[in-house]
Amino acid sequence: MTKEPILDVAQLAHIEIYSPKLEQSVAFFKNILGMDEIYRQGKSVYMRAYEDHYHNTLIITENNEAGLGHIGWRATSPQALERRVAAIEQSGRGIGWIDGDIGHGRAYQFTSPDGHKMEILWDVEYYEAPEDQKTPLLNRPQRRPSRGVPVRRLDHINVLAKETNKNVEFLEEVLGFKVRERILADDNSDIAAWLSVSNLVHDIAIMGDALGETGRLHHICYWYGYPQHLSDVADLLIESGYVIEAGPGKHGVTQAAFLYVVEPGGNRVELFGDPGYQIFDPAWRTIEWKGKDLEKAIIWHGSNLPQEFFKYGTPVKSDVLVEK
């Protein structure tokens, strides 16, 4: 008998990252990636891409080291929120309710088994563009920015974990995520897994932490939708003094056209040049990569990823550094 799916989490709503260089990080996302600064409060800056429908999707908070602040998930209804909170509390991972934050109402906070802080919410503030930013394209929240190479929307997050399987199982069993693709070790344990609650191949990915650390961030990702924009932003990055870590290229897993760069605060940012593919089959069978297939899983075409790609995460816990 097929297990009844959990359909209570709708999407990735926002991400908070930490930066020891707040203003430089904000300038990177604003001037290179064309994002807008919407609000400031305390040590946090709230930002958005021009096709994000919510008030903000990125929060950059000043901190003494880079890393993940928290991940925000939106439930599919107020009732779904209460059901997931009950399941989270039963799992023993709950922290508790907060009244809300800029751009959303009350939220329930919790952690993954690896210690990544997350929250789930329902009430959100939708972005209302000022008059000079309105567009006659009514299904777009605001006018396309004229600076940098503007990203269109938040796509996904990738986190590192000491014990990959525990975190994958938590997302599956407690929140209702589906494993879309995975890379397996010889003993069939997860080296990495790509999971979603939406039609995307992944809203979140979990990768084994090569350093054996816990709670670290591998990268956040914003979406272009056009592979040409990866070449465009590559020119801009190089001429602005940034070092591209990897790409443009294409992964076998997710079929994504990618580029990776480390923003000034130290966090890795991926830029998606196309949608990869989307999943509509409710009985989707997880794609499993193993053994001889792994070479094409990592890189379908383009240069190989540097070894630092598999070790560097934030907070930085070793002498493994990526040039910025």
3-class DSSP assignment, residue 154: strand
pLDDT tens, residue by residue, 53-100:
999 999 999 999 999 999 999 999 999 999 999 999 999 999 999 999
Q: Rounded to an integer, what distance in angstroms lies between the CA atom of residue 246 and that of residue 48? A: 24
Q: How many CB atoms are located within 10 Å of the residue 122 CB?
A: 20
| pTM of full prediction above 0.85 | yes
Beta strands 58-62 and 9-19 are parallel
H/E stretch holding 90 reads helix 78-91
Tokens linked to 191: 């080296």
Place 319 in a pLDDT band, splitting at 50, 70 and 90: low
Alpha carbon 176 to chain centroid distance?
18
What separation in angstroms does the CA of 137 have from each of 34, 117, 305? 19, 36, 39
Mean pLDDT on 101-110: 97
Q: In this structure, what are the phi and psi dihedrals at residue 192, rounded to the nearest 5 degrees?
A: -155, 150
Q: Rounded to an integer, what distance in angstroms lies between the CA atom of residue 62 and that of residue 157? A: 20
Cβ atoms of 109 and 70 closer than 8 Å: yes
pLDDT tens, residue by residue, 214-267:
999 999 999 999 999 999 999 999 999 999 999 899 999 999 999 999 999 999
3-state helix, strand, coil in the chain (%, to 5): 20, 35, 45
**Integer distance in angstroms from the first to the last C-alpha of the chain?**
51
What one-letter code names the amino acid at 161? A
pLDDT tens, residue by residue, 4-54:
999 999 999 999 999 999 999 999 999 999 999 999 999 999 999 999 999
Tokens linked to 320: 């493994």
Closest CA to 101 of 156, 54, 148, 145: 54
pLDDT tens, residue by residue, 278-300:
999 999 999 999 988 888 998 88
3-class DSSP assignment, residue 44: strand
Give the chain's mean pLDDT.
Answer: 95
Q: Is residue 186 predicted with pLDDT exceeding 90?
A: no
Would you call the peptide bond into 248 cis, given omega within 30 degrees of 0 as the criterion?
Answer: yes
